């Protein structure tokens, strides 16, 4: 069946998808279908003959996102498009051209910057310690993505890090660069710099690259760094077929060099650019969007999102105040248990927070209620030992012809390795392994009629390559950074207190703005219901409610009762209301 590339697009999406030539800037709010626009635009270009698939480069920021783009393009009948990260594209070009330019193979990639830094400081006469080296590694990354020399860095960042003075930080960076040269190695950021330098210095390389790729699309353009933008300019040369897609309100990597001005100033740099705004949100209920819009009102580049469904708003998002962190974790677990009891699939629920350290009490509270949870950002699904073992056994089973459907074979292999009818207790590696095996079985049960064991295992291997992981039937716990690009029906955003969100070290207007955008990302992950919460303290230290709650105000939030949510007494007396502070009433 032929897929019509423009089918089902709304007016704004259609406008973007049919603009095939010249510079195009798509300002796409959360949940407005930006990936759909990107893929349908490319498919339409190929369908009309405007693009040759092999001449298109779609660039994004994660391997998983690149795999999703390739998968969606295949589904639209457009294989052969290069969908890669900036780093993957740059590394491929380096590996191809390096032997021609320098002879021999390209340098290897540093396996762990902190480990290399530890070796580099051996002869410096001081031991910074692992924490300080992690901070120095971050400084090196910032220096390189902002295209600064060590001397320029010293002027731009005239301070030390984690107990090191500026001179020591500079000494470590020089020693690190010397070590890499001796080992014939590049780090992650060097790949971009070296690729850009190669194209800039070698006209025949520039000509070859520009002949290969003539049409560029860049997703998440708000997160582009100066070096990535420079590389993109070099890829383009004098060409003008560039589509950038992004949302300034979701810029959450400024600390790593991302600069939203490349998105917001696109039309200034390209006066003939067409700018299309996508503000119809297809993900979230209108009540959730009201909270998001309140938070970002009048912020630079912010889009006011409108619910596409037109349906009556769902449940009003809630704000719950707890006496301490333990009560907050218990209250969230109780609320999730109620949602599951009412028929919600656990994988439709997420708990989001600012820092990884906040996950421990939440995991414990969920396990106490026998609710399985997965922490996002842990080991990848296809790297889990039980998944790797199952793949090996399934692959081996394809050698012998099957007399029945493949499903009994899959079920038998998984049962032999530990899949039982009833799950083991929640909270631990045994339950995690069970959930992984259960996910493989569900994929087999959902496979189209006529699927063979060979086809099923091939599909699993393709999923592993593209990081297209199956859904686990567990509640998801994730930091706000890790949650970017994902969505759930029900979101519990915890820790909305000063010192947590915004984080304590965010002290400038710029860093506070970044924290606000993080909160916005968390809010817009919710499709149906949103619960916000915070705890007054740990018993040792009192906290204040986050300024972001005050900015949202009481118009789109309903105060919930912590005693009803957690069954615990509020610290200041059982008669105290869990209403938010008077400032938001």
Q: Which residues are annotated as a binding site?
A: 28-35
User: β-pairing, 558-560 with 526-535?
Assistant: unpaired
- The whole-angstrom separation of Cα 332 and Cα 214 is 51
Could you write out the three-class secondary structure of 366-414?
A: HHHCCCCEEECCCCCHHHCHHHHHHHHHHHHHCCCCCCCCHHHHHHHHH
Could you tell me where the beta strands, DSSP code E, fall in 262-358?
274-278, 280-281, 306-307, 318-322, 349-353
Which pairs with CB-CB distance under 8 Å and at least 24 residues apart come from 294-299? 294/551, 294/552, 294/553, 294/555, 294/556, 295/516, 295/519, 295/520, 295/523, 295/548, 295/551, 295/552, 296/249, 296/516, 296/517, 296/520, 299/248, 299/249, 299/513, 299/516
Q: How far is CA 585 from the centre of its chain?
A: 34
Number of Cβ within a 10 Å radius of residue 157: 15
Q: Please, which residues bridge with residue 42 across strands?
A: none
Using DSSP, state whether 542 is helix, strand or coil: strand
Instruction: For residue 143, give both structure tokens.
Output: 């220096």
- The whole-angstrom separation of Cα 195 and Cα 199 is 6
**Which phi and psi (to 5°) does residue 27 adopt?**
-90, 105
DSSP string, 165-199: -HHHHHHHHHHHHHHHHHHTEE-HHHHHHHHHHHH
**Alpha helix (H) ranges present in 76-187?**
86-102, 113-120, 130-145, 150-156, 166-183
User: β-pairing, 488-493 with 526-535?
Assistant: parallel
Any idea how long the chain is?
585
Cβ atoms of residues 248 and 260 within 8 Å:
yes
Number of Cβ within a 10 Å radius of residue 574: 8
Q: How far is CA 275 from the centre of its chain?
A: 25
Annotated binding site for ATP: 28-35
Cβ atoms of residues 359 and 375 within 8 Å:
yes
| Cis, bond preceding 275 (omega within 30 deg of 0) | no
**DSSP H or E stretch at residue 533:** strand 526-535
Q: Please, which residues bridge with residue 25 across strands?
A: 244, 275
- The whole-angstrom separation of Cα 512 and Cα 490 is 26
């Amino acid at each position: 069946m032929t897929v019509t590339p423009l089918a089902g697009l709304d007016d704004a999406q259609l406008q973007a998808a049919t603009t095939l030539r010249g510079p195009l800037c798509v300002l796409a709010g959360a949940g407005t279908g930006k990936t759909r626009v990107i893929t349908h635009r490319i498919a339409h270009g190929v369908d009309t003959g405007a693009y040759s698939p092999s001449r298109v480069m779609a660039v994004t920021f994660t391997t998983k996102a690149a795999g999703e783009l390739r998968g969606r393009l295949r589904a639209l009948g457009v294989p052969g498009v290069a969908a890669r990260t900036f780093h993957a594209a740059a590394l491929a070009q380096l590996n191809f051209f390096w032997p021609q330019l320098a002879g021999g193979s390209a340098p290897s990639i540093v396996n762990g910057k902190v480990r290399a830094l530890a070796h580099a400081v051996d002869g410096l006469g001081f031991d910074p310690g692992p924490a300080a080296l992690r901070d120095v590694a971050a400084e090196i990354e910032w220096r390189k993505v902002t295209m600064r020399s060590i001397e320029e860095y010293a002027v731009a960042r005239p301070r030390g890090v984690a107990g090191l003075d500026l001179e020591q930080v500079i000494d470590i960076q020089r020693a690190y660069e010397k070590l890499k040269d001796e080992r014939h190695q590049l780090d992650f950021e060097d790949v971009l710099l070296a690729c850009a330098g190669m194209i800039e210095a070698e006209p025949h390389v520039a000509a070859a690259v520009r002949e290969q790729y003539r049409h560029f699309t860049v997703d998440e353009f708000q997160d582009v760094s100066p070096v990535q933008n420079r590389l993109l300019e070099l890829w383009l040369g004098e060409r003008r077929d560039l589509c950038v897609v992004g949302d300034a309100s979701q810029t959450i990597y400024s600390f790593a060099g991302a600069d939203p001005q490349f998105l917001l100033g696109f039309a200034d740099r390209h006066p003939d650019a067409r700018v299309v705004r996508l503000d119809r949100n297809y993900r979230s209920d209108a009540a959730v969007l009201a909270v998001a819009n309140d938070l970002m009102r009048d912020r630079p580049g912010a889009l006011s999102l409108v619910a596409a469904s037109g349906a009556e708003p769902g449940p009003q998002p809630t704000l719950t105040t707890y006496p301490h962190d333990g009560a907050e974790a218990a209250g969230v677990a109780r609320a999730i248990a109620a949602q599951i009891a009412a028929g919600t699939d656990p994988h439709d629920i997420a708990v989001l927070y600012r820092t990884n350290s906040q996950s421990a009490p939440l995991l414990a509270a969920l396990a106490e209620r026998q609710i399985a949870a997965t922490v996002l950002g842990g080991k990848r699904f296809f790297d889990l030992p039980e998944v790797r073992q199952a793949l090996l056994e399934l692959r081996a089973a394809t050698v012998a012809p099957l007399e029945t459907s493949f499903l009994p074979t899959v079920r038998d292999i998984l049962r032999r390795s530990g899949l039982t009818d009833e799950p083991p207790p929640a909270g631990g590696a045994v339950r995690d392994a069970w959930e992984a095996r259960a996910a493989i079985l569900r994929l087999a049960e959902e496979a189209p009629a006529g699927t063979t064991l060979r086809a099923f295992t091939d599909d699993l291997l393709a999923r592993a390559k593209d990081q297209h992981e199956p859904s686990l039937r567990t509640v998801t716990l994730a930091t706000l950074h890790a949650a970017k690009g994902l969505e759930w029906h029900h979101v519990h955003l915890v820790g909305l207190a000063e010192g947590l969100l915004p984080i304590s070290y965010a002290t400038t207007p710029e860093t506070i703005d970044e924290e606000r955008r993080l909160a916005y990302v968390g809010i817009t992950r919710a499709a149906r219901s949103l619960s916000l919460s915070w705890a007054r303290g740990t018993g040792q230290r009192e906290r204040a409610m986050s300024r972001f709650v005050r900015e949202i105000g009481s118009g789109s939030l309903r105060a919930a009762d912590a005693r009803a949510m957690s069954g615990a007494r509020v610290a200041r007396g059982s008669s105290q209301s869990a209403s938010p502070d008077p400032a938001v009433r």
